[in-house]
Amino acid sequence: MTDIPLGAGAEFDRIRAIAAALGPAASGLGNDCAVLPPGFGDVVVSTDMSVEGVHFRREWLTWREIGWRAASAALSDLAAAGAEVVGLTASIGTPRDAPVDELTELMRGVGEAVTAVGGRVLGGDLSVAPVWVVDITVVGRAARPVGRSEARAGDTLWVTGALGGARAALMAWQAGGTPAAGARERFAHPVPRIAEARWLAAHGAHAMMDISDGLGGDAGHLAAASGVRLELELDQLPVHPDVVAVALARGEPIQAFAARGGEDYELLVALPKSFDAVEARRFQQDTGTVLTRIGKVRRGAGVAASFAGVPATLAGYDHFG
């Protein structure tokens, strides 16, 4: 993989260094286009950009963690579709004086993230930029892609894993502190729920999306796409254990803190009303991930949240808000 057919020059020296760092995590580098192998179902494509100072800070994370996190954020979109991973391309902008080893370490993280879910690095691009930019395009296949628009009145709402850990880490850093280890791991090393999503798609999921901008905001997108009303029971939310101390210190209710946090990259899914606790236990046995019922789908519009029957207000992250 180190001897790819490229000419001389500083840019191509960097590409050769990336290829050497990726090793078997990459395939087909050195051509103008990636060639996808034939396969079943529809091709599913998404893209996600991580910008220094907006999505990450270098003093918080290692270069490998920055690469892992950027790739996993994009791969989580494939999970939302219930897709199998084919691979990704990575377009990287770096400051002109950035050392090559920082770039190669970042790409090691990208390669580790995509190989962990069965894919490969298919190609990418390099450019000089004022700050670090990591733009990931992911490619997958799905026999029945799941979207946001088919939730139906009578469905139940479920969420994978636990919420709020990434936000707890972010709040600790922004306050000048050090996050608890578990919260830091949730921020630095999110795991795209590829296997979980494929299980849910195979068991009748009507609608699904990843929670990247907080449950409060993302639930609104699912409700709008499906033309339904979502009723969320916040007292049922599965909360990451490291949320408790941070939420109490900020004077926020624990479940509300978790619901407002983004970048956990868990899944919000609408399942048929016949899906019950027995099926949820089977899901956990098969995937190793907890699935928790947090509400229901009704006729109407928008999102209504409550805690122990008392109405609550939620909001998600808005990049331009």
Question: What domains are defined for the chain?
Answer: 10-142 (3.30.1330.10), 156-312 (3.90.650.10)
Residue bearing tokens 């803190």: 257
Residue bearing tokens 């997108």: 221
Q: Which helix (H) or strand (E) holds 223?
A: helix 215-226
Eight-class DSSP state of 321: -
Per DSSP, the residues of 40-62 read: SSEEEEEEEEEEBTTTB-TTTS-
Residue bearing tokens 């450019």: 127
Judge whether 149 and 225 are in contact, CB under 8 Å.
Answer: yes
Q: Which helix (H) or strand (E) holds 269?
A: strand 266-271
Judge whether 223 and 164 are in contact, CB under 8 Å.
Answer: no
pLDDT value for 127: 94
Distance CA 183, CA 189 (A): 10
Judge whether 40 and 63 are in contact, CB under 8 Å.
Answer: no
Per DSSP, the residues of 65-89 read: HHHHHHHHHHHHHHHHTTPEEEEEE
Spell out where 152-251 has E strands: 156-160, 207-211, 229-233
Distance CA 228, CA 225 (A): 8
pLDDT value for 9: 57
Which region holds residue 264: left if phi is over 0, alpha if psi is between -120 and 50, else beta?
A: alpha
Per-residue pLDDT of the chain (321 residues; tens, 9 = 90+): 445 654 555 666 776 777 777 777 677 676 778 888 888 899 999 999 999 998 899 999 999 999 999 999 999 999 999 999 999 999 999 999 999 999 999 999 999 999 999 999 999 999 999 999 999 999 999 999 999 999 999 999 999 999 999 999 999 999 999 999 999 999 999 999 999 999 999 999 999 999 998 998 899 999 999 999 999 999 999 999 999 999 999 999 999 999 988 889 999 999 999 999 999 999 999 999 999 999 999 999 999 999 888 888 776 544 434
Residue among 202, 183, 75, 86 nearest 145 (CA): 202
Eight-class DSSP state of 5: S
pLDDT value for 247: 94
Q: Which helix (H) or strand (E) holds 295?
A: strand 291-298
Q: Which helix (H) or strand (E) holds 91?
A: strand 84-94
Distance CA 180, CA 123 (A): 36
Name residues whose C-beta falls within 8 Å of residue 314's C-beta, 6 or more positions apart in sequence.
Answer: 214, 215, 216, 217, 219, 232, 234, 256, 259, 260, 303, 305
